[in-house]
Structure 1
Amino acid sequence: MSTAYAVYEDALFVVDLDRASMVREHPFDSRSECVAVADDAVLVGTFEHGLQRSTDDGASWERADGIEPDAVTSIAVAPDDPETVYAGTEASGVYRSTDGGRTFERLDGLTDLPSADEWSFPPRPDTHHVRWIEPDPADPDLLHVAVEAGAQVRARLGEDGGVDWEPRVPSARRDVHTIITHPDAGGHAWVAAGDGYAETADAGESWQHPQAGLEHTYCWSVAVGLNPASTGRWTPRVLLSAATSAREAHRVGESYLYRREGGAWERLDDRGIPTGEGTYRAVLARGDDEATFWAANNHGLYRTTDGGDAWTEIDVSWPERLGDQTCRGLTIVD
């Protein structure tokens, strides 16, 4: 069964994509922040009840052990080992599990970085959190880590279980929301940030900021497929959700989708997925081939199979309250 796991502000929704039917809606009595699937377990980060883990597709839950803060703001699964899971928290911390998310240990040293005194999340300026963790598929010992707001940094994992934190580089974005890699593009990463878009071809040693055609630069989510070129090399097909500012993205509701394939950005209006007024920023995910992408927003769940030219709504019954909520995380399991 192909399944979508979408977390909105107050619930996890489990959707059977083969039948276009809602399997389960599981409400949390705390804001949902993120979702991932590690082997046989669904993992949801919540703001008040830590990391919740389910092995029966959300019918029952237990809290993971070892994470000290109650607020879990990001989850990542190692691409080479589904038993290795990383979790980010508020206040900023990174934790690692080697048993599929049952128990965690803290990776010390993140807040010892020189820029840590500058980190601050504007709505709660006395704190900050780890918004995203992204392992490099070509280097299992390298993690890209985003602190909201203030830094994108790297962690190098040692054989002894320790970690060396590398300071942010000058060309990295400071308000990073999403970092995406691709299993067949080692060393490459793509970033959606509040201060714009960025990409790297050297595993984060340096970052480039192609902005031509990007009219909205408060970027939230990014997904990437590799489009084979006639030269035999691939070109990244990058999809991006963006708005004018945080206010339009999260509260007013006016956001857009863009696509870039090596040249200028193209805005994807009138393609079958709502954009513009009345639409909160979408969360994007790549599908099971290079031209299939998914998007979840306050109108529902959408799929494209042609790289973004045309989108189809997944016709399931969503609760009416979804129209006033932002999607917090989306994971597709094929």
Structure 2
Amino acid sequence: MMLLAGTYDGVYRADGPEFDAAERVLDAGRAMRVRRFDGWDGAFAATKTGLYRSTDGGDSWTNLDVPREEVYSVLGDPEGKRLYAGTHPAHLYVSEDDGETWRELTGFQDLPSRDEWYTPRHRNESHVRSLGAHPDAPARVVAGVEVGGVHVSDDRGETWTERKGGVRTSEESAGSSRAERSDGVHDDVHHVLVRGPDHYVASCGGGLYRTADAGETWTRLDEGVEHTYFREAFAHDGTLYAAAARSSPGTWRGERGADAALFESTDDGDTLESVSYPGGPEEVVLAWTTDGEGRVVAGTNDGGVIVRSAGEWVAGGRLPEGVASLCRV
């Protein structure tokens, strides 16, 4: 069993979660996502210099030549037929021949809010930060845009609907008359965890949200915590894991670092329990996976790798750059 880490400086490989002896296997600049998909051979690395694929455990990589160079997200569909790539600026491409050729899904550009997708921090543009699908609904593609919201396609990406509104507070979900309805899921979407055909958890720059109806309505989960800048959530063996900082990455340097927190929930996010971890609170967890023994492994913005072992988080090594994504191969 090996683990791949997508970092601020390419992709590294390690035998298990002991990353002190990791080697860089792909020199591709900043890696946004490293992912493996059931029904697809090998691993994919979405980076700012292209989308790469390795079918030999990371020894060699092939650039799949997506029409736009900066690839922020990738999805191999559950049917093993369509490979998707989300880019910066926010465009979406599909390949039906294993990455040999690409076609833009122009329907993604027809969403009503498309002209509002931009942020000064990213050249006044946006990017498709997250792509997901579930085996029980293989034709449904879920896209998260930074900055631009959550969008869903039920025809394999050809046409799209916005799923940004109808957010409820957790009190309202429980039937409290005191709760107020908010405007919608936060537009600064970093990751959408697809837990079921209609069940998603969205990690945003302004909160953590859950839907049980494919985004028609959303429940905000982080009302009881002080940290609201979430980057990615992860679910394993009945526990939902999430981590957040108090603010955006521009505040993560200095004496206090990210001032972050790591949360665990056994009730699908209705309650978030803050737990201690090596590197916290100065380092914020950005990436998750499991190792070959079923343990959860996480990576931080400062290159730390931590492992959930025997009921607590322990150190698992350190990489020379921040860890943006983790993947077991």
Report the TM-score, using the length of structure 1 for normalisation. Answer: 0.81
Counterpart of 2:8?
9
Query: Which residue does the alignment assign to 1:70?
Result: 69
Q: 1:187 to 1:147 in 2, by over 3 A?
A: same
Q: 2:299 aligns with which of 283, 290, 296?
A: 296
> Which of 117, 132, 135 is the aligned partner of 1:134?
132
Aligned partners of 1:219 and 1:240 also within 8 Å: yes
Q: Structure 1 residues 97 and 250 mapped into 2: Cα distance closer, same or farther (>3 Å)?
A: farther
SS of equivalent to 2:249: helix
Q: Secondary structure at the residue paired with 1:179?
A: strand
Q: 1:135-165, CA deviations, whole angstroms, 9 ceiling, x for partnerless residues?
A: 133211111101110221111225xxx6111
Equivalent of residue 201 in structure 2, options 184, 187, 190: 190
Matches within 5 A, 1:201-216: 201-216=212-227
How many percent of aligned residue pairs carry the same amino acid?
26
- Higher-RCO chain (CA-CA 8 Å, sequence separation at least 6): 2
SS in 2 for 1:114: coil
Deviation at 1:36, TM superposition (A): 1.6
Provide the C-alpha distance between the structure 2 equivalents of 1:7 and 1:50, rounded to a whole number of angstroms: 13
- Counterpart CA distance in 2 for 1:304 and 1:18 is 10
- Change over 3 Å in CA distance of 1:81–1:17 after alignment to 2: farther
Would the aligned equivalents of 2:298 and 2:307 in 1 still touch at CA under 8 Å? yes
* Bigger Cα displacement from structure 2, 143-152 vs 22-31: 22-31
Asked if 1:146 corresponds to 2:144, the answer is yes
CA shift in 2, pair 1:25/1:294, >3 Å: same
Q: Is the 8 A contact 1:115 1:151 kept in 2?
A: no
Partner of 1:234: none
Residue 174 of structure 1 aligns with an amino acid whose one-letter code is D
Give the CA deviation at 1:280: 3.7
Q: Does 1:217 align with 2:228?
A: yes
- Specify the alignment match of 1:163 in structure 2: 158
Residues 233-291 of structure 1 deviation map (CA, whole Å, 9 limit, x = unaligned): xxxx221110011136754532221122234221112x4x32112x14431235678x7
- The within-5 A match list for 1:1-334 is 2-17=1-16, 22=21, 24-38=23-37, 39-47=40-48, 49-65=49-65, 67-78=66-77, 80-157=78-155, 163-170=158-165, 171-182=184-195, 185-227=196-238, 237-247=239-249, 251-252=253-254, 253-254=257-258, 255-262=260-267, 263-269=270-276, 271=277, 273-277=278-282, 279-286=283-290, 292-297=295-300, 298-305=302-309, 309-315=311-317, 318=318, 322=320, 325-333=321-329
In structure 2, the CA distance between the partners of 1:101 and 1:331, relative to structure 1 (3 Å rule), is farther
Task: Specify the SS of the correspondent of 1:157.
Answer: coil
Q: Which is worse superposed, 96-105 or 68-77?
A: 96-105
The SS at the match of 1:110 is helix
1:303/1:101 CA distance change after superposition, 3 Å? farther
Distance 1:218 1:141, change over 3 A: same
Q: Distance in 1 between matches of 2:20 and 2:70?
A: 31
Aligned partners of 2:94, 2:185: CA distance in 1, in Å? 24
Contact 2:53 2:64 in 1 (8 A): yes
CA distance in 2, matches of 1:140, 1:186: 9
> Within 2, Cα distance between the matches of 1:286 and 1:116?
36
CA–CA distance in structure 2, aligned partners of residues 120 and 331 of structure 1: 29
Partner Cα distance (2:304, 2:41) in 1 = 26
**Match of 1:164, SS?**
coil
**Contact preservation (8 Å) 2:164, 2:187:** no
**Gaps spanning 5+ residues in structure 2: where?**
166-183
Which ranges in structure 1 are unaligned for 5 or more consecutive residues?
228-236
**Range with greater deviation from structure 2 (9-18 or 107-116):** 9-18
**8 Å contact from structure 1 (residues 3, 17) kept in 2:** yes
TM-score (ref. length: structure 2)? 0.82
